[in-house]
Chains A and B, each alone.
Chain A
Amino acid sequence: MIDVRRITKRYGSHTAIENVTFSVAKGEVLGFLGPNGAGKTTTMRILTCFLPATAGTAHVAGFDCFDQPMEVKRRIGYLPENPPLYHELTVTEYLTFVGRLKGLRGADLTRQEDRVLERLSLGHVRDRLIGNLSRGYRQRVGLAQALIHDPPVLILDEPTVGLDPKQIIEIRELIKNLAGSHSVILSTHILPEATAVCQRVVIISGGRIVAEDTPERLSAQLRKSEKISVSLKTPPADARDRLRAVAGVVAVFESQEPGAFVIECELGRDIREDLARMAVTSGWGLLELTSVSLTLEDVFLHLTRHEEGIAQGSRLAGPTASSAEETSP
């Protein structure tokens, strides 16, 4: 549905993004992760035909963003970073305007309006001026605007900014429901959001794609060892050494809390059962035993901070990542 190939955008001498390549299948939700200034918005603006790319090609639904912008624009719903709202219009007036701008008319327009108002629970503010709405409502009106013509492709630049936790969950549910029938690109720097909503994640840093995979696989790839956290009620004085002696254990670290340990063991080996048996038979009072997995947050920090680490540590995303490798010493 979306196909981006080796896109580069330069502003004068400043390179915003370089050789960015990725694609989104029909019905897929792709998370676009990256620190501020990484090039997320620039990439999205190129896809929506707001900006032309300096080099490379972008296709949406089979149409070239540069040569056939009208066809692309008809098929895209776009929520920019700042929702593009006219404060002097009411919610309904605004949606009517955007709907007409997107080519809707008559009964079709009214039906779509009712649909998005209902879907984003905006019904009770439909006749209020946008300027008088709270931040959360404005964000939802912005989202309603992107959905009004029921486009096959949605590009959402930080859609949950400014929403309260309940609304965030609602919007995430909404986006999840869109998956399957719509292709969605969603940028965020809230990592749990990407884990919660996206089937695939692209991590972009300094204008380059540094990794691309499912959230689960990304964290798995970076894991060099299994980590298990153990909490004991009455640990013996030599608990550390005795834990160390369990087959497969590489290292044991004592946590700040009394009786809590983090045990590192060989990759791909599950020693939780052995540990549990030992703790119970020795009467240490086992309180907790969990396997610690790397969150996307760790992956993100790892990838965007220590770029050299990923070259060996994980399987990288296709051709773009290899270009990242070439340049990193």
Chain B
Amino acid sequence: MRPVYALLAKELRSAFVSPIVYVVGAVFLLVFGFLSYVAVSAASARAIQLMQIQGAAATLNLNDLVFRPTFHSSAILLLLVVPILTMRVFAEERKLRTFELLMTSPIGLNEIVTAKFLGVYTIFLALLALTGIVPLILAVYSSFDWNPVFTGYLGLALLGGLFVATGVFASAVTENQIVAAFLSFGILILFWLLGAFGSLLGDTPAGNTISYLSFIEHIDRFVRGLIDTKDLVYFVSGIVLMLFLTYRVVESQRWK
């Protein structure tokens, strides 16, 4: 398994010397911070309102007022951020012809795909961990239930994994990075909107199936503090499927 680690280390090294990670990371953290600031401001405005009506200090549920909206919005934010992180993984190697080196080295294609996925996923998890500053600061000035926050983060981590796997797949399809990024936007937005389309069909088998395919429903339970096996299966199988498709796409390119 040693070559996998070599490739993973190289992926991380390359990512951290490229400006993309820093720019995308900064924008992501800024927007996440802003989203939570808006949510906190809205919550404190509510608190002042309630105090005026009831005349006493109201206890507000910060989990509902701050974390849920923030997590929901950041799911959509990730949809825009992750494709930029993943767009280069395969496309760049193909463009610069370095892919020939990987493919003629004693490392399996499954190992290449795994290392590529883990490389971006590690960066994603690092960025996500940095947003932990928001609950930490809030914990100093208020009290809330930590458990739904943890499950929310677990959900975002799984969601990010699915997005990264999708982005890696899109990057394997083309050697143009812009095309790769746009393709993964397209796929992810489509899966996002499937939720709305599914609920339009109502409680029918078709409607339920389509709703199930959308990640919105699955992330929602995590954000509300529920860890359902159904959702775990959804994300893990989604990641595996996307990586399998990546493997197939790269493999098939050799035969053309």
Contact = CB atoms under 8 A, between A and B. Distances in A.
B254 A52 contact: yes
Interface stretch (A24-32, A84-92, A187-195): A84-92
B133 interface: no
A80 B96 CA distance: 12
Query: Which of under 10, 10 to 19, 20 to 34, or 35 or more describes the interface residues of B?
Result: 20 to 34
Nearest to B102: A101
A86 B10 contact: yes
Query: Which of under 10, 10 to 19, 20 to 34, or 35 or more describes the interface residues of A?
Result: 20 to 34
B107 interface: yes
A55 B108 CA distance: 23
Nearest to B17: A88
A137 interface: no
A97 B10 contact: yes
A98 B106 CA distance: 10
Contacts of B97: 80-82, 84
A78 B98 CA distance: 12
B44 interface: no
A101 B7 contact: yes
Q: Mostly helix, strand, loop or mixed at chain B's interface?
A: helix
Contacts of A227: none
A49 B101 CA distance: 11
A218 B65 CA distance: 85
Interface in B1-18: 2-3, 5-7, 9-10, 13-14, 17-18
B100 A50 contact: yes
Contacts of A85: 96, 98
Interface of A: 11-12, 45, 48-52, 70, 73-74, 76, 78, 80-82, 84-89, 93, 97-98, 100-103, 105, 145
17 contacts: A12-B256, A45-B100, A50-B103, A73-B105, A78-B101, A80-B97, A85-B98, A88-B17, A89-B14, A93-B13, A97-B7, A101-B3, A101-B7, A101-B107, A102-B3, A105-B2, A145-B101
